[in-house]
Amino acid sequence: MSAFRYRLELPLRLARVRMTQARRELGQLLRRRAEIEAEIAATQRRILDLGNEILARSRDGISGAELTRLTLERDQTVNRLPGLDETLQQQLSAEQEVQERLQAATKELKVLEKQRREKKVLYLRDRGRREQAGVDDVVLVRRAGEMAWKRRVEE
């Protein structure tokens, strides 16, 4: 008797590959988001540090050129925040898309694996029935032979 073959084995493998790829992609996106969030936090810290430096130097006396330089640097740093926020939003959107693909691939994989298990159970049950039928046939032939032998001996 042939071994169990699931006719949807190829789609099952493809679902596994899609799920693995989505997981890998999501991991990369999460790492990138962490980098963006760290950059935003560093930028915010730099803005605070520049503000504190401007205040501290103003108390001690600061030249106009130095004040202009620090203020310009702080303003440029502040102007970077909206771009970083937009990049973060794009990243979150990409993550959401990949998470949806991962959920769909996981659902598909679960359905195919469940169907495969059910088909294998049916296959094993049917194979068991056929094997039992073969054994029953052998037993019937043997008993029929024994009965025929007894009749000849009795005659």
Q: Which residues have a Cβ under 8 Å from the Cβ of 26 and sit 6 or more positions away?
A: 95, 98, 99, 102
pLDDT attached to residue 129: 93
CA distance 124 to 145: 31
pLDDT attached to residue 113: 94
pLDDT attached to residue 1: 55
Q: What is the pTM of this model?
A: 0.70
CA distance 92 to 36: 11
CA distance 89 to 103: 21
Q: Kindly list the averaged pLDDT for each block of 10 residues, start to end, along the chain of length 155.
A: 84 94 96 97 96 89 89 95 96 97 95 94 93 88 83 77
pLDDT attached to residue 126: 93
Residues 37/91, Cβ–Cβ less than 8 Å: no
Q: What is the DSSP letter of 4?
A: P
Q: Helix H segments across the chain?
A: 9-60, 64-154
Could you tell me the residue ranges of all domains in the chain?
9-111
Residues in the chain: 155
Q: Which residues have a Cβ under 8 Å from the Cβ of 70 and sit 6 or more positions away?
A: 50, 53, 54, 57, 62
Q: What is the DSSP letter of 8?
A: T
pLDDT attached to residue 153: 79
